[in-house]
Amino acid sequence: MIDLGRFHIYSATLTQRAGRWTVSLTGVATELHQVERSRSNRHPVPVGVDRGIISLCVAADADGIPFESFEGVTTLKQALTKLKSANQALARTTPGSKGRQRARARLATRHRKVANTRRHLVHQASKALVDRCQVLVIEDLNVAGMVRNKHLARSISDAAMGELSRQLIYKATWHGVEVRVANRFFPSSKMCSGCGEVKSDLDLSTRTYSCGACGLVIDRDLNAAINLARWQPKEPSPSILLDPRRAELLSTA
């Protein structure tokens, strides 16, 4: 875009973090090409996106057709385990020693790795969803509730989903895709996608949703994604949903 004169750089910022230099460019880009903005082969009906616990997120439409399941939580978990052992290694070293310096550098590398892995995975997922769907329905995440969560895989998934929501909203604006944010009290996980029965409680460790009313047995995340796909806004107001300040609220990363 720079070569074609479609992006004009106004400033560049150099940052050094954990021994690595990063250049951030700020500028103005021209509008995306019309063809790119309005692809005709996008999935025409709303697609619900739920945070997965084993995968990063699970997407499905109202008919229960699993759209996509994005891998990633395992990779993040592994990166976090290495980060934890680097932390412990640092604690075992003597203050002021060469060993401590080395351990500190290793820890910084691990921190960077976790951050980069998360960013990379989430960018892949948000790009794929915005490229292939016309309407996306996401959950309005309860940030306070997520911080309290002690379940590791779940908290990784929550943090990634917060960042995914943020990216989906800004990428959707670029490509003319609609993002609907379901009310946080909407029981996407506890409701049966077969009959609409709502469970009073659903433990985090329960991976499969089994309905006592209609007998449906379905993957927990897929069930939630289907419910989100069917969610209907009471008063459609896409301009509010796409407000950048709204994106800030949804961001937790």
- Residues taking part in catalysis: 50, 139, 221
Q: Which is nearer to Zn ion, 64 or 194 (CB)?
A: 194
Residue 220 beta carbon to Zn ion: minimum distance, rounded to whole angstroms: 14
Binder among 192, 225, 228, 247 for Zn ion (CB under 5 A)? 192
Cα(65)–Cα(43) distance, integer angstroms: 11
End-to-end Cα separation, the chain, in angstroms: 28
CA dihedral 232, 236, 174, 30 (to 10 degrees): 170
Residue 229 beta carbon to Zn ion: minimum distance, rounded to whole angstroms: 17
Q: Which is nearer to Zn ion, 5 or 212 (CB)?
A: 212
Tokens standing for residue 6: 């479609």
Give φ, ψ of 210 to 5 degrees: -120, 125
- Examine residue 191 and tell whether it contacts Zn ion (CB under 5 A): no
Tokens standing for residue 78: 């592994």
Binder among 64, 66, 176, 194 for Zn ion (CB under 5 A)? 194
Place of tokens 């300040």: 245
User: In this structure, what DSSP letter does residue 45 have?
Assistant: S
Tokens standing for residue 172: 């959707």
Residue 121 beta carbon to Zn ion: minimum distance, rounded to whole angstroms: 33
Residue 69 beta carbon to Zn ion: minimum distance, rounded to whole angstroms: 22
Q: Which residues contact 46 (CB under 8 A, 6 or more apart)?
A: 61, 62, 133, 135, 136, 137, 180, 229, 230, 231
Q: Which of residues 195-234 bind Zn ion (CB under 5 A)?
A: 195, 197, 211, 213-214, 216
Q: Which is nearer to Zn ion, 107 or 192 (CB)?
A: 192
Using CB under 5 A, list all residues that contact Zn ion: 192, 194-195, 197, 211, 213-214, 216
